[in-house]
Structure 1
Amino acid sequence: MGDLVTRKDDNGLCWLTLNRPDKLNALTVDMFRELRAHVSDLYKDDSVGCVILKGAGKCFSAGHDLGDIAEGEAVPSRGWHSETLRLMEKLPKPVIAGVHGHCYTGALEVALAADFILAAESAKFADTHAKWALTPIWGMSQRLPRRVGIATAKRLMFTAETIKADEAMRMGLCEAIFADESFEADLESFARQILANSPFSHAANKRLLEATDADKIDAGLQWEILENEGVGPDMQARIGAFMKK
């Protein structure tokens, strides 16, 4: 595997880093190929309980590499980028997008495929498809309105405006804002809270939320009862440890 997307494991936490800082981590087919390989490996790695996806250098990513678009990208199959992000989205472990600096268009589509976005104070978000006479094919039209509502999604998609972290938090696009100088430490602290809890529950809850997203509440309640995955193999140990305190 190359070094366009790097992986570092640390006691259950996996850091995936978009690593093209000289180009503001602009996204290419080769970067997606490496991201896909890492994600595929994570499906088979039970030693990892949480994943943080971040960018090297000045930003998360400035978005899809316009040079690649102009030259015509050689993708393995139609919808391959979207399929790659769907693989990441369905990982049976929490995925955090840690966003600092630019997060524009294709980069926002990548971040939206994480379970949630944690932002640095410097984070800036935008969907600029309309600026370049493009339309989204990596998931923007589906994931953005699910996060922020259809009217706000239209606002961002139609105006191509750039919003800062505080506005992103207000509209529900990100879940927390951290200072730039402590950003990675704060990301890790947040992830460690997740890692302290049951990986069985995390995987089961992700599947439950996925299966019932946008369902009518009665249908979702029935699914929760009938398709419940029960208790995990670590339940007795966790309760026993608590009772001994």
Structure 2
Amino acid sequence: MTLVRRLDEGGLTTLTLNRPEKHNALTVPMFALLRQHVADIAAATDTVGCVLLRGAGRSFCSGNDLAAIAAGEQPPEPHFQARVIEELAALPQPVVAAVHGHCYAGGLELALAADLILAAESARFADVHAAWAMTPVWGMSQRLPRRVGAAKAKELMFTGRVCTGREAEAMGLANSCWADGAFDGAVEETVRRIVDNSWFTHRMTKRLLAETETATLRDGLAYELAHSGALGPDAADRLARFGRG
């Protein structure tokens, strides 16, 4: 069984965590496969315009596999998983996480690496590091506050409480939430809208946002003026289509 499946269709690459019997609990072999997929996608900007990250079965991802940790599983290098998640976040293409069922701890850190998080009503988000006397090393302490604000992030991290998909949407953790029956269709519509827009613009937008994340407004505006790519190679065709009505 392939632990992380890849499907390419019409400019969209879907990566599916594939340990449904374990709620897609994360192991080192899963991260190794994910890293290879991410590297391949990063080099495929001409054929991949958007990346969709999903989980097979009843959950997106229940987090790090505690049984594997207890059994002594070791990564091939220090901070291996954190680096893979950072490489996912740094992809030039937009990354969308579609979350249903469990999205706990390491699974939430994985989802937070996405540019957009789309939630089903069945989604359940939680940071349970404190329940196991663990501290986050895959980005939780940095990405969660940037999504929901420091006070709300502290609440979630200190209490470990479980949030519904609707709660995640209300606090800004998820961009949108849909009823389970409408979820797959809404996800498909969202990612197809992304794919239909200019891939050049998406890549430039991600670069501008990443490079100015800690800049002042003045410095950020100056950076945009100096480094924006202006019109992309597909601009003329898009403008011509607009002119034809």
Match of residue 126 from structure 2: 126
Match of residue 91 from structure 2: 91
SS at match of 1:238: helix
Q: CA deviation digits over 1:4-62, x for unaligned, max 9?
A: 00011111111110000011100000111111111111012221111110000001011
Q: CA deviation digits over 1:118-155, x for unaligned, max 9?
A: 00110010000001000011110110011011111111
Give the Å deviation of 1:186: 1.6
Give the Å deviation of 1:92: 0.9
What is the alpha-carbon distance in structure 2 between the residues aligned to residue 47 and residue 224 of structure 1? 26
- Range that drifts further, 219-228 or 137-146: 219-228
What is the alpha-carbon distance in structure 2 between the residues aligned to residue 96 and residue 221 of structure 1? 27
- Range that drifts further, 217-226 or 121-130: 217-226
SS at match of 1:26: coil
SS at match of 1:6: strand
Is residue 2:15 matched to residue 1:16? Answer: yes
**Structure 1 stretches of 4+ moved >6 Å:** none
- Range that drifts further, 109-118 or 36-45: 36-45
Unpaired runs of at least 5, structure 2? none
- Range that drifts further, 96-105 or 39-48: 39-48
Unpaired runs of at least 5, structure 1? none
What is the alpha-carbon distance in structure 1 between the residues aligned to residue 48 and residue 41 of structure 2? 7
What is the alpha-carbon distance in structure 2 between the residues aligned to residue 180 and residue 37 of structure 1? 31
SS at match of 1:58: coil
What is the alpha-carbon distance in structure 2 between the residues aligned to residue 179 and residue 164 of structure 1? 12
The correspondence of residues 175-186 of structure 1 with structure 2, limited to 5 A, is 175-186=175-186
- Range that drifts further, 178-187 or 94-103: 178-187
Match of residue 71 from structure 1: 71
What is the alpha-carbon distance in structure 2 between the residues aligned to residue 116 and residue 234 of structure 1? 24
Q: CA deviation digits over 1:178-203, x for unaligned, max 9?
A: 22123222211111111111000000
- The number of residue pairs the alignment matches comes to 244
SS at match of 1:194: helix
SS at match of 1:146: helix
What is the alpha-carbon distance in structure 1 between the residues aligned to residue 55 and residue 6 of structure 2? 12
Give the Å deviation of 1:215: 2.1
TM-score by length of 1: 0.97
What is the alpha-carbon distance in structure 1 between the residues aligned to residue 182 and residue 166 of structure 2? 17
What is the alpha-carbon distance in structure 2 between the residues aligned to residue 144 and residue 72 of structure 1? 28
Structure 1 counterpart of 2:36, one-letter code: A
Percent of pairs identical after alignment?
Answer: 51
- Range that drifts further, 164-173 or 211-220: 211-220
Across the aligned residues of Structure 1 and Structure 2, the Cα RMSD in angstroms comes to 1.0
TM-score by length of 2: 0.97
Match of residue 150 from structure 2: 150
Match of residue 104 from structure 1: 104
Match of residue 162 from structure 2: 162
Structure 2 counterpart of 1:197, one-letter code: N
- Range that drifts further, 100-109 or 183-192: 183-192
The correspondence of residues 36-55 of structure 1 with structure 2, limited to 5 A, is 36-45=35-44, 46-55=46-55
Give the Å deviation of 1:175: 0.3
